[in-house]
Amino acid sequence: MDSSPKCSAIAGFFAFMEHNMTKPVVVAVANRKGGVGKSATAESIALILAELAPTLIIDLDQQGTVSSILCPEHKDENTSASLYKKPAFLSAYPATQRAALDTADRVMIENLHVSTANKELEGIQKMATGISIFGLQKAISAIKDEYKYIVIDCPPNGSDAQSMALMVADYLLVPVTHDMSSMEGADELFTDLNVVIENRDSAPTIGIFLNIVSHQSRSAYAIARTVVEQKYPQYLLDIEVPHQGTAATARSAYFTTAAYAKLSGRKSKPVEALKEIVQKLKITGE
């Protein structure tokens, strides 16, 4: 069964008007399967865009990995759980990163703010009822003049938070791995998107890419590519994001992937591949 996103001919007038107001470019990174490198992708995309213009990364994953790496100082303050309040709102804090390999000192990251997440998000999701999928859209409209780009790290489930993100995304990046369950996660994501899209005037630009690709798993990734090509040929990108051991080391020590590579005197292959994806999809308009 084809679960590719389809756009309804009838969209809510309110959604149409809010979505088409001058607003930041919104990039959502999502997969209903965890462990596909979603948070690392969102973090790196945000850092790439912050080199060009003011950028906000919204952590909607209750694990709060992005928040732990980019904004641990404010992880326990107003979080993205505020989207479940009435009226919905977002709090944003300056992003920071570790300054050196041998110190816990942190330095500010220019042009990047973080809307943090922690376990509070999971708790409020379980208790919340009657949440509008327009909550994030309204919150973004209140800060639309402050950022040129917004990146959203979506939760690996079909929660209201994911629906909010799908409602506002101009671009939807879907990382998959050689694990077939990650492709099932993509199928479920697109099923969710087809529901949300009834309230949009158009579908987001979608890019599916193979992530954490290693030489050891090359044959498995070849099979995965074939499966995705058969299901979603119009969305599959010809760019693969490679596995790099230093990336895992970086995140375990709460470094950004790019910062750890730079401080170690190496080039980050995953970040370079993600830059290609940004260019391929013309996220920056270039």
Count H helices and E strands in the chain, helices first. 11, 7
Residue 221 pLDDT more than 90?
Answer: yes
Token digits for 198? 């009834």
Q: What is the pLDDT of residues 238-251, one digit of tens each?
A: 999 999 887 878 88
Q: CA–CA distance from 22 to each of 89, 144, 227 (Å)? A: 18, 7, 38
Share of the chain above pLDDT 90, in %: 71
Q: For residues 131 and 137, which has the higher predicted lDDT (pLDDT)? A: 137
* Domain positions in the chain: 13-280
Q: What was the pLDDT predicted at 46?
A: 98
Q: In this structure, how many other beta carbons lie within 10 angstroms of the beta carbon of residue 128?
A: 15
- Quickly state the pLDDT bin for 4 (edges 50, 70, 90): confident
CA atoms within 13 A on the CB side of 208: 26
Mean pLDDT over the full length of the chain: 90
DSSP 101-146: TTEEEEEEEEEEEEE---HHHHHHHHH--S--TTHHHHHHHHSTTT
Name the 3-class secondary structure at 194.
helix
Q: Which two tokens stand for residue 233?
A: 């040929």
Identify the pLDDT of residue 182.
97
135-194 pLDDT, tens digit each: 999 999 999 999 999 999 999 988 889 999 999 999 999 999 999 999 999 999 999 999
pTM of the model: 0.91
Average confidence (pLDDT) over 52-57: 98
Please list, in sequence order, all residues whose beta carbon lies within 8 angstroms of the beta carbon of residue 235, skipping any fewer than 6 positions away.
4, 174, 206, 207, 208
CATH no. of 13-280: 3.40.50.300
Spatial strand order of the sheet with 149-153 comes to 93-100, 103-115, 55-59, 149-153, 25-29, 171-176, 205-210
